[in-house]
Structure 1
Amino acid sequence: MRLPLSLTASLMLVAPLTLISSFTSIQVATAQTASDHTHDHNHAHDYEHFYIGVDGLEVLNRGPYTGLENPNYNRLTFLFSHVEEDPTTNHFHGIGAYSYSGPVDNPVINSTNTNNRIPEPYTELPPITLQPGTGIYADRLVSMPTAEEYSNFEIKPVASLQNNDEPGAQYLYNSSDGRWQGSLGDAAIALELVSITEGLNIANEQGLNILTQVGDTYTIGSGDDFTFTPTFWTDAAAPTGTYSAAFQLADLGNANNGSTFEKSGTFNIDFQVASVPEPSSFLGLGVFTLMAFIGKSRLKRST
């Protein structure tokens, strides 16, 4: 029996849409699986994002260089909050902090370390996916909070946690024996651009481009109560691949007493422009699947 032409046409349209929907579901599920890697990153907590702290540890108390002066003492540090299923184990990871290498009796001080990237290398997660933008970011691919771990780029001082009533926030604030609780005082905290991939751009919260050249600095806030959320973006037609930027944190000081804190180590943030199958590919696959189904049905009937 031959299918009516109208029904065949309808199936030809519906099948690709079904495949697209299925592909989207797979993408979401894959992103969610990646976001569950090691830590409980469901963005359910308003304190799960990036922080700036001052390292208050004078002498290293763990690892092969235990007992040596901490090369990060009194330095600004870029921190990521690891929010766990058991909130009592919430903690920070320093990203790109200074580190030692070489023999213990004559070590070399490096201005970064092996955990100097976002996503953190040990997770083996891919770069953060830039998403289609809207509004002022129409026709661009932009960073935004998603199910992907590390995708929330809100930045606050550690001291902003002090008055947060959530138990998990307090465990985070008091982690590492209070190592990161030091006040930023009236320091003027700035991002300094160390390197950037051509085609990647950085905008402030008003959508204005900042840090356009290596060596540029941009003040993101001062003291212990500020919030800054940069947006990283490329053109929508940017080639697929990885786009990276490297930064240091600097205290630009103030007119009264100058700089207070030393610069942070260098840290990197990686993004990707991911390839997405063209709609025509879905259409072709949908038509092929539909015709195969119709052919199989006819064969069964003739048999």
Structure 2
Amino acid sequence: MPTAVAISQLNFSPVQASSLTDELHHFMVAIDGRETLSFGDYAGLANPNLSRLTMLYPHFAHDDEDVSSSHFHSIGSYSYTGSVDSPTVIDTSTNNQIPEYWTDLPPINLVPGTGVFADSLVNEITPSSAENYNNLKITPIQILEDYLDDPAVNALYNSSDGAWTGSLGDAEIALELISITDGLNVATLDGTNLFDEVGDTYVIGQGDDFSFTPVFYTDQDANSGNYSVEFRLVDLQSSNPLPESGRFQINFQVRAQAQVSTPEPSAIISLISLGFGLSYMYCNRKKTF
């Protein structure tokens, strides 16, 4: 099972995010500190995801909502199935898809790329406060600590009674490839493929301070339809590794016109600029399911 490590990425021009919450609308890695479940059919039972690596997606309060309602959803965490009296632990949950199933949003579009992805269809990024799931950057939750003077960020960070704020310590966080649709690929921003086969792992960062933006792409003449990839988070440090996360899936689509149309500039992969612009900004500011 080969293991790859995130390489130093190319320098690209930073872009200005439209707001702080727009900038932070991306995946975050945390450790689940909830000892018992507080909602749903299994409320009161021991949390089967306790102390595990967990992929989180933030939901910030909208303009007409109290900022204190900002919260995370865990994506694909360990959960229960079966009767409450004799439940079975499984390594995923009903909320294990991106876009999240309850939003009824379509899969993320794959659109004509630029630069090293000029001959490919790549995941579309549309910078927006809308929860469109297009920003697939991954950081630890601890990056929020630089922004806690913002009420919405503070509420997000401390949601679920601070259950997500535990340090990742010396964890060597990697994505493990569980499954992938034929024709879909995962790469770094400079075009280096992350995986050769199912079961491979790729280290995206260490501890409480990293940022990694994967690129998902197909050939430019890929068949129209849906494509998906399934991962889990694993800790590859040799001593006392954190327990792995549950399984989660990211869904994409190639629309029939994608191969021949030219996307609007605001919607193109600018991916490379956006991913690095946001990392640049971090460096320079130095209801949960």
Give TM-score, length-normalised by structure 2: 0.78
3-state SS, counterpart of residue 55 of structure 2: strand
- Normalized per residue, which structure has more helix? 1
Q: Taking structure 1 as reference, are residues 131 and 259 closer, same or farther at Cα in structure 2, changes over 3 Å only?
A: farther
Rounded Cα–Cα distance in structure 1 between residues aligned with 2:165 and 2:60? 17
State the shift of 1:140 in Å. Answer: 0.6
- Conserved? CA contact 2:121–2:259, under 8 Å: no
State the shift of 1:42 in Å. Answer: 8.6
Q: Which residue number in structure 2 is paired with residue 275 of structure 1?
A: 256
Moved over 2 A (4+): 41-45, 277-280
Question: In terms of Rg, which structure is larger?
Answer: 1
Q: Taking structure 1 as reference, are residues 277 and 199 closer, same or farther at Cα in structure 2, changes over 3 Å only?
A: closer
- Conserved? CA contact 2:31–2:54, under 8 Å: yes
Q: Which residue number in structure 2 is paired with residue 200 of structure 1?
A: 184
Which residues in structure 2 correspond to 1:1-303 (within 5 Å)? 45-85=22-62, 86=65, 87-146=67-126, 149-164=132-147, 165-254=149-238, 258-276=239-257
Q: Taking structure 1 as reference, are residues 277 and 226 closer, same or farther at Cα in structure 2, changes over 3 Å only?
A: closer
State the shift of 1:206 in Å. Answer: 2.6
- Conserved? CA contact 1:248–1:265, under 8 Å: yes
3-state SS, counterpart of residue 189 of structure 1: strand
Rounded Cα–Cα distance in structure 2 between residues aligned with 1:205 and 1:249? 20
* Greater RCO (CA < 8 Å, at least 6 residues apart): 2
State the shift of 1:277 in Å. Answer: 8.4
- Deviations, residues 151-185 of structure 1 (Å, cap 9, x unaligned): 00111101111121432211110111111101100
Give TM-score, length-normalised by structure 1: 0.74
Q: Which residue number in structure 2 is paired with residue 12 of structure 1?
A: none
What is the number of equivalent residue pairs in this alignment? 237
- Conserved? CA contact 1:144–1:231, under 8 Å: no
Q: Taking structure 1 as reference, are residues 120 and 43 closer, same or farther at Cα in structure 2, changes over 3 Å only?
A: farther
Amino acid at match of 1:77: T
Q: Which residue number in structure 1 is paired with residue 12 of structure 2?
A: none
Unaligned runs of at least 5 residues, structure 1: 1-40, 281-303
CA root-mean-square deviation: 2.0
- Conserved? CA contact 1:132–1:138, under 8 Å: yes
Rounded Cα–Cα distance in structure 2 between residues aligned with 1:194 and 1:56? 25
Unaligned runs of at least 5 residues, structure 2: 1-17, 262-289
